[in-house]
A and B are shown apart, each in its own frame.
Chain A
Amino acid sequence: MIQTIAFYLFAVLVIASAVMVIMSRNPVHSVLWLILAFFNAAGLMVLVGAEFIAMLLVIVYVGAVAVLFLFVVMMLDIDFAELRAGFIKNFPLGIAIALILLAELVLGIGAYRAGAIALGTPDGMAAPIVGVSNTEALGALLYSDYIFLFEATGLVLLVAMIGAIVLTHRKSAGDHRGQQDIAKQNRRNPNEATVMKRPTVGEGVEL
């Protein structure tokens, strides 16, 4: 009983906050609603017993991704009047896409009602490992069956990092702000680096 109530609470909140993500006029509010949606999705994950994924959602999505979004959105210079003008111009297209997606949803639910989908039927491979925590089971899978994909995903992240650095890192001649010159730091003489001042009472210090 309590589980059902919790499920409906989380599910309704996820959907409501997802709607608010796209409905709110202010992008900062959108991101805040998105964070609420992530939290509730994490709650749903806890309900189905996937506590590791729930923690991932909170730590990675809320803690890192959404906060990063927030920073980016706050740095944008957004003209709200222009946003609304685009809204009216693209309204017919938006309605068309919405209708297509609605038709799909109806079809999907219809197919589910007709018994074409059996939700949550685990096959042999997906059977839960008894006596092992979620984290251990996921780790065992990632580092054995899915080692190839795990490593390849690492390469994807590496390429993203290389790309970001290649496209943005600039070094002009004679400017070493980007790099630490350890030898130069070691060569520094304390006599050049610091100045002794003897301020007298009632007068300021002139540097």
Chain B
Amino acid sequence: MTYAASFYLAAPEIILSVAALILLLVSAWMPKASRAVTIAAVAALFGAMAWTASLLFDPAFAMGGEAFGGLYSADGFAGFAKIVIYLATIACLVVTPRFFDARGAYRPEYPVLMLFAAVGMGIMVSAVDLVTLYVGLELSSLASYVLAAFLRNDGRSNEAGLKYFILGALASGIILYGMSLVYGFSGTTSYSGIRVAFADGFSTGALFGVVFVLAGLAFKIAAVPFHMWTPDVYEGAPTPVTAFFASAPKVAAVVMLSRIALDAFGAQTDAWRQIVIFAALASIVVGALGAIGQQNLKRLLAYSSINNVGFILIGLAAATPEGASAVLVYLAIYAAMTIGSFAALLMLRDNSGEQIETFAGISGLSTTKPALAWCLLILMFSLAGIPPLFGFFGKFVVFQAAVEADLIALAAIGIAASVIGAFYYLKFVKVMFFDESLSTEPDGEAVIADSPSGHWVVLGLSALLMSPLGYLAIPWLVSVADRAASALFTVI
């Protein structure tokens, strides 16, 4: 393969890197041009997305697209994930500026770091080599650590950044240790080579390596038992950054985990399936039970994301093309729901500019801000998986894939546990619609201020997709996801 062909396939990353470097220079000389840099970053992301889409629908590349001698793959699986990641990053950039402007802390480095994180996530989902995986993971993680601590005068933001950095470095160390074991026993770092080397089963040492790699990646996707950092980091990080953490990096990490599990370790499905099943069930249960006592809405959404990761892992445990397709569909729906919820959370601010982050602040929201309350109602019902809404479809395809793979017990327990999770989503709705409004207080503290149109666009689009209207997108979404997932399985 010539370099030109490789660069053609890796063009989304190249576009974003070049844009980020140019914008970095702009931000060095024009520190006041935050808005313009943000708009340029969004444009670059749209450009990268258009290129990815053209690759995704180009029959010549959708099934393979190996570049740089088997280090990087621009197949359909990566393409689908990249489009979701870029869209999520764009949505996060749209809702960001006002939050930081209100604190006088918005700087043009923020969109630049987001672009670098997007480059890293693109490399992560395209990685077909352990070294590529690690480089992409570190690129996106390092940018994330800085973003978490971006409000540097805020103690909680600093704490979140430090916590995320130390625990993330620990997880990276675990992944590296596992990768070194896998490399030592297989003699290669490429996924296809590892697959061939372990065609007859894992030796004990190699199994240790696989477990370490999976444990480190479970940390990155915040699956139980490696979830402890999630509520703290999500609560402490600035809300737009939390919206980003809960959407794009999670999509990237799950897709990366799926690829390494189904491709590199795909010949030995039984060896890792029980680990994934345990993590899935534990995540669903802990995510559901942990959220019940929470008063802080950001912590609640953190537990909600742990819970959702559990459902995604059920699709991975199926280890079939249907399962991989279900993972992609669920991820796309999950990203839209999460970003919508956080956009709504960002719109909850009182007249003095303080964010409202507790249940007490949103009581009676349906009388003060009916449109916002109804959008949140759709999103919460959708997260709970209540049938007429689109979130139900995500859970449906995941459970269907599990049942078809003869994991009926897993699916049954998952469905039962999802009922527990419905409790706190319903509590959200109950507080908004049936509790006394606090906005009549004389000091006017709980009055919700108006929001700029960008927030409404993100929230409206996400609520529209989650409403029953979203079902119109199913044939298209499922066919693209099926094609993307089959790209992963034709490698065999």
Chain A residues with a Cβ under 8 A of chain B = 104, 107-108, 110-112, 116-117, 121, 123, 125, 145-149, 151-153, 155-156, 158-160, 162-163, 166-167
Q: Which residues on the B side are within 8 Å of A107 (C-beta)?
A: 204-205, 208
A148, B113: Cβ atoms under 8 Å?
A: no
Interface residues as binary, B184-204 with A (CB distance below 8 Å gives 1, 0 otherwise): 110110000000000000011
For chain B, residues 168 to 186, give those with C-beta under 8 angstroms from any C-beta of chain A.
184-185
A159, B205: Cβ atoms under 8 Å?
A: no
Q: Which residues on the B side are within 8 Å of A104 (C-beta)?
A: 208
Given contacts A117-B184, A149-B131, contact A155 B116 (CB under 8 A): yes
Residue B72 is within 8 A (CB to CB) of chain A in the complex: yes
Kindly name the residue among A111, A112, A121, A163 whose own CB sees the greatest number of chain B CB atoms within 10 A: A163
B205, A166: Cβ atoms under 8 Å?
A: no
9 A-B pairs with least C-beta separation:
A163-B146, A116-B203, A148-B68, A111-B205, A152-B135, A166-B109, A159-B142, A159-B116, A156-B139
Q: Which residues on the A side are within 8 Å of B71 (C-beta)?
A: 145-146, 148-149
Could you say which interface size class chain B belongs to?
35 or more
Tell me, rounded to whole Å, the shortest Cβ–Cβ distance linking B51 to chain A: 17
With A156-B135, A162-B109 already in contact, 6 other A-B pairs whose C-beta atoms are closer than 8 Å = A107-B208, A116-B185, A152-B13, A155-B119, A162-B113, A163-B113
Q: A123 CA to B196 CA in the complex, in Å?
A: 14
Residue B136 is within 8 A (CB to CB) of chain A in the complex: yes
Tell me, rounded to whole Å, the shortest Cβ–Cβ distance linking B458 to chain A: 25
Residue B251 is within 8 A (CB to CB) of chain A in the complex: no
Q: A111 CA to B3 CA in the complex, in Å?
A: 41
Among A117, A152, A159, contact of B143 (Cβ-Cβ < 8 Å): A159
Q: A151 CA to B17 CA in the complex, in Å?
A: 10
Q: Which residues on the A side are within 8 Å of B429 (C-beta)?
A: none
Q: A151 CA to B16 CA in the complex, in Å?
A: 13
Q: Which residues on the B side are within 8 Å of A123 (C-beta)?
A: 187-188
A121, B146: Cβ atoms under 8 Å?
A: no
Closest to B3 in A: A147
Closest to A155 in B: B139
Q: A162 CA to B208 CA in the complex, in Å?
A: 36
Residue B149 is within 8 A (CB to CB) of chain A in the complex: yes
Q: Which residues on the A side are within 8 Å of B142 (C-beta)?
A: 156, 159-160, 163
Given contacts A145-B69, A162-B24, contact A108 B205 (CB under 8 A): yes
Q: A110 CA to B72 CA in the complex, in Å?
A: 35
